[in-house]
Amino acid sequence: MKKYSQFNSLLPYENQYFLYNSYQQKTIFLEEELKELLEAAIHEGIDNLKEVHPSFFDYLVESGFVVDSSFDEVQQVKDISKKIDENTDFFLLTVNPTMNCNFKCWYCYETHIKDSRLETSVLDSIQSFITKTINKENIKFFSLAFFGGEPLLYFEKNVKPLVEHLKRENDHSNKMIHVSFTTNGYLINQDFIDYFNSVDIKPHLQITLDGYKDEHDKVRFVSKKKGSYDEIVRNIIFLANNEFPVNVRINFTDENLSNSSKIVEDFKEVSEEAKEKYLKFDFHRVWQNNQIDDLDKTLHEIREQFEIWGLRTNSNNSPNNIQNSCYADKRNSATVNYNGDLFKCTARDFLTENRGGYLSEEGDLIWENDYLERRMDAKFSNKPCLSCRIMPLCNGGCSQHAMEYKEANDEYCIYQGDENEKSKIVYTKVEEIINAELQEA
Ligand code: SF4
Ligand code: SF4
């Protein structure tokens, strides 16, 4: 006995239909007649299709659109998720050298803590943690990420000692190392480039634009009279031309998205090599503005304009939350605040009362109140996701989301259970498949 996979979506597309499976991430296109045969079989029992159209049935089985009726599809996703999140080949350490910032953006100004910076004792503990971890046999890759506040504010005293320690330790452990910054990009200069060239590390940078110049400068400014768009764009280009990879995160809302198409004008002249290898634009809808609407179409058109100029884009309406789960979902990841408090993710505030634990003097991660296990167990506890057709892509978002709802004993759906919204994700995925095939052809 067979069953129609719970992860299938059968949807109209131009003059035909497609069948898409969110676990296999595969699609096939169907003419009206085949689609009707399939619909009848879904209704009457998929095994009937074997008699009516054996080759079609066999194809659906081979491709995973139809599975054994005893097969536990959800368990299969759980197993993959566990394998990915419990992988201990690597460690991802994020450090907030400060909670202070040189900008006064309305949405985070309140959380600035003037004069906050890594205490010497915490810096020493982080170094001990790096030494212990990178020398573990199972660790093949160590990533050191700087977040904040603005991590480049105290570059000399807080960032360099950690980068140099990592490099020194790695000289004899010989693992793969990676350094990255989430920065507003304002303080990037020649010294930054020269320094990293001298230590032979090319850090990755994530730099945010809050829409095009007018909107951006209203939100991200050094002072009421001085915006930051022009300097930041100049610094992004400077980095990319010096072969430093930059992910430009474009935060958008329904109000600033259409104007964001003008950003492309500022990057047209970047070298072809930099466009191809070092620059990527990641469109990200601001979560406070996530109402259901038709913004996807505008986003699609804007991404096309970027792509025409050879600028690579991505967007958060194409989730892949199991295969590509957030760093904070992984067991081997931690965020250390300037005062030694421990967190998993960087998208919540860093108040001591919300910490998951602390970094001990000896450089050990001490998770309090079973925080790490609670977090690692949080996924797959939201009932609506377990029967959802796009669960292998979405799964209710990240473990932060999952844990907050689980502990509040609440059920949720990121898309408010709206099947049309789920279908939009499916259309995005199918278009990605089509585009990839066109590029290969
Ligand atoms: S909120 Fe979720 S996606 Fe964002 S950093 Fe935290 S865990 Fe990751
Ligand atoms: S959050 Fe909603 S769309 Fe996402 S997997 Fe759960 S039920 Fe499906």
36-92 tens-digit pLDDT: 999 999 999 999 999 999 999 999 999 999 999 999 999 999 999 999 999 999 999
- Going by pLDDT thresholds of 50, 70 and 90, the confidence category of residue 225 is confident
Q: Which atom from ligand 1 is nearest to the alpha carbon of 326?
A: 8
> What is the C-alpha to C-alpha distance for residues 237 and 278, in angstroms, rounded to an integer?
10
Q: Which atom of ligand 1 is nearest to the CA of 328?
A: 7
Question: Residues enclosing ligand 2, CB less than 6 A?
Answer: 384-385, 388, 390-391, 394-396, 413-415, 422
Q: Which ligand is nearest to the CA of 395?
A: 2
The rounded distance, in Å, linking the Cα atoms of 121 and 129 is: 12
User: Which pTM value belongs to this model?
Assistant: 0.91
Query: What's the pLDDT score for residue 223?
Result: 77
User: Residues lining ligand 1, CB < 6 A?
Assistant: 326, 328, 345-347, 398-400
Among 144-148, 164-168, 287-291, the minimum mean pLDDT is found in 287-291
Give the number of whichever ligand sits closest to the CA of residue 92. Answer: 1
Q: What is the mean pLDDT of residues 260-264?
A: 93
Tell me the C-alpha distance between 172 and 161, whole Å.
18
In three-state secondary structure terms, 207 is strand
Supply the mean pLDDT for the chain: 93
Quote the strand ranges of 32-140, DSSP E: 66-68, 90-95
Is pLDDT at 179 greater than 90 in this prediction?
yes
**pLDDT at position 106:** 67
For ligand 2, atom 6, name the residue with the nearest CA: 385
pLDDT of residue 347: 86
Nearest to 283 by CA among 220, 212, 185, 213: 212
Contact between residue 147 and residue 111 where contact means Cβ atoms under 8 Å apart: no
More confident residue, 172 or 403: 403
User: What is the average pLDDT across 25-31?
Assistant: 97
Q: How far is the CA of 290 from the centre of ligand 1 (A)?
A: 16
pLDDT at 105 over 80: no
Atom of ligand 2 lying closest to residue 414 CA: 1
Q: What percentage of the chain carries pLDDT values higher than 90?
A: 80
- Which H or E element spans position 435? helix 419-440
CB 240 within 8 A of CB 281: no
Most confident stretch, 222-236, 237-251, 289-303 = 237-251
DSSP-derived pairing of the beta strands 312-315 and 279-285: parallel
85, 94, 282, 326, best to mutate for ligand 1 pocket (most atoms within 8 Å of CB) = 326
Q: Is the pLDDT of residue 7 over 60?
A: yes
Which ligand is the nearest neighbour of the Cα of 333?
Answer: 1
Residue 316 CB partners (closer than 8 Å, separation 6+)? 282, 283, 284, 285
Report the percentage of the chain scoring pLDDT > 70: 97
pLDDT of 17 > 60? The answer is yes
Q: Looking at the CA of 425, which ligand is closest?
A: 2
Mean pLDDT lowest among 88-102, 110-124, 241-255, 258-272: 110-124
Q: What is the mean pLDDT of residues 374-401?
A: 96
Distance 15 CA to ligand 1 centre (A): 39
Average pLDDT over residues 103-129: 85
Helix (H) or strand (E) holding 10: strand 8-13
List beta partners, residue 66. 4
Distance between CA atoms of residues 104 and 370, nearest Å = 36
CA dist., res. 439 & res. 441, Å (int): 5
Residue nearest to atom 2 of ligand 1 (CA): 398
Tokens of 357: 């634990």
Question: Which ligand has an atom closest to residue 381 CA?
Answer: 2
Mean per-residue pLDDT, 100-111: 74
- Encoded tokens for 16: 């035909």
- The per-residue pLDDT for 287 is 67
> What pLDDT was estimated at residue 291?
65
pLDDT tier, 290 (very low <50, low <70, confident <90, very high otherwise): low
Burial track 391-410 (b if 16+ CB lie within 10 A, e otherwise) = bbbbbbbbbbbbbebbeeee
pLDDT of 278 higher than 80: yes
Q: How far is the CA of 342 from the centre of ligand 2 (A)?
A: 29
Supply the pLDDT for residue 197: 97
User: Is the pLDDT at 373 greater than 90, yes or no?
Assistant: yes
Instruction: Tell me the chain's radius of gyration from C-alpha atoms.
Output: 24
In the block, tokens 């904070």 appear at 328
* CA of residue 157 to ligand 2 center, whole Å: 44
Amino acid at residue number 90: F
Confidence of residue 292 (pLDDT cuts 50, 70, 90): low
pLDDT class of 274 with cuts at 50, 70, 90: very high
Distance 399 CA to ligand 1 centre (A): 7
